[in-house]
Amino acid sequence: MKASYQKYTLEFKQPAGTSRGVLKYKDTYFLLIENKTEKGIGECNLFKGLSSDDRPGYEEKLQWVCDHIGMKPAEMMQELQEWPSILFGYEMAMKSLQSGDPFTLFPSPFTQGQDAIPINGLVWMGDQEFMMKQLEDKLEAGFSCIKLKIGAIDFDAEMKLLKSVRSRFRESEVTIRVDANGAFQPNEALAKLEEISKYKVHSIEQPIKQGQWQEMAQLCEKTPVPIALDEELIGLYDSKKRSDCLDQIKPQFIILKPALVGGFANSRDWINLAGERNIDWWITSALESNIGLNAIAQFTYTLGVSMPQGLGTGGLYTNNIEAPLEIKKGALYCNDIAGWNTNPINI
């Protein structure tokens, strides 16, 4: 068995605004594993400024994986526990290698084109006109769950957007989620949550920056809007730390990005811990290419989800890998008629 990796730069169709800045392109890495007859591909989705393995030595660690690809999988996964995006890429590539079809990791009615996954429509940060245009497009496309990135423009302007949606659609018609990406200060967060609650919002992701467990716990106890932990989960590598986080903060939801929490097995661990505490969850992509998005979507479907998931990022790039993934009326489908075109990454 042999392995190699390849860096690939994804280019956004339009700049993607978050409270951390504006993204115009994003680097990712593909891990290819081969034996005599099969190939497997995984995506090591390094998210700069967010992944806990965004640190010196990343490509050296990828090369180390390639050099030691014959290591027992359990030992390799232990070795990579603190390199979550590489761990996920390795786990994905091994699953791909063993699957016969390298792009069908979890066969199901979803992969056969017989069923779909409900997803939310994502509205990126920008000026009010830009965000309103995105909103209109998502509603026209048939989304019944909208997620708005907030925290970058004037808060009052963002509230006007929420008011505009609620003036046209009742809570039973359109679900609104908001994502602050940690933009609020702890001393102002509760007042802002009170304002947001006027518009019957389903949830808010990460209202304050991660690592402030005491302040977040107080918010979760008092909040009028259910709080979902997102960035808070990053860098917690074992079940004990994860349990401590959930027990102290007591969130209403957690959001799992497999590339940031360490893949399928670690996502399942979070889901089990959350279930023991009656904490609900959903799964979100983290700006992967379609290679990673495909794997995450297939995995997500096997979990029997009914709540809209955050898997609508496949159309963000000008040079994404062509895949049989399609969004129709607020749901993600795997079109078994369409195929893959991996020419850009020489596979």
User: Which residues sit opposite 39 in a β-bridge?
Assistant: 34
What torsion, rounded to 10 degrees, do the Cα atoms 182, 185, 188, 194 define? 10
- Extract the tokens encoding 311: 């898997």
C-alpha to C-alpha distance for 15 and 147, rounded to whole angstroms = 17
| Residue 280 identity | D
Q: What are phi and psi of 124, to 5 degrees?
A: -80, 160
Q: Do 252 and 280 form a contact (C-beta atoms < 8 A)? A: yes
- CA 269 to each of CA 227, 236, 241: distance values in angstroms, whole numbers, following the listed order: 20, 11, 12
118's enclosing H/E stretch is: strand 117-118
Active centre residues (catalytic): 149, 257
Q: Which DSSP string corresponds to 198-262? A: TT--SEEE-SB-TT-HHHHHHHHHH-SS-EEESGGGTT--SHHHHHHHHHHH--SEEEE-HHHHT
- Specify the pairing of strand 253-256 against strand 121-123: unpaired
For 11-145, where are the alpha helices, taking DSSP H only?
58-67, 73-79, 84-97, 128-140
What torsion, rounded to 10 degrees, do the Cα atoms 308, 269, 299, 347 define? 130
For 277-323, where are the alpha helices, taking DSSP H only?
290-302
- CA 167 to each of CA 125, 159, 330, 333: distance values in angstroms, whole numbers, following the listed order: 21, 12, 21, 31
Give SS3 for 15: strand
Name residue, tokens 């115009």: 24
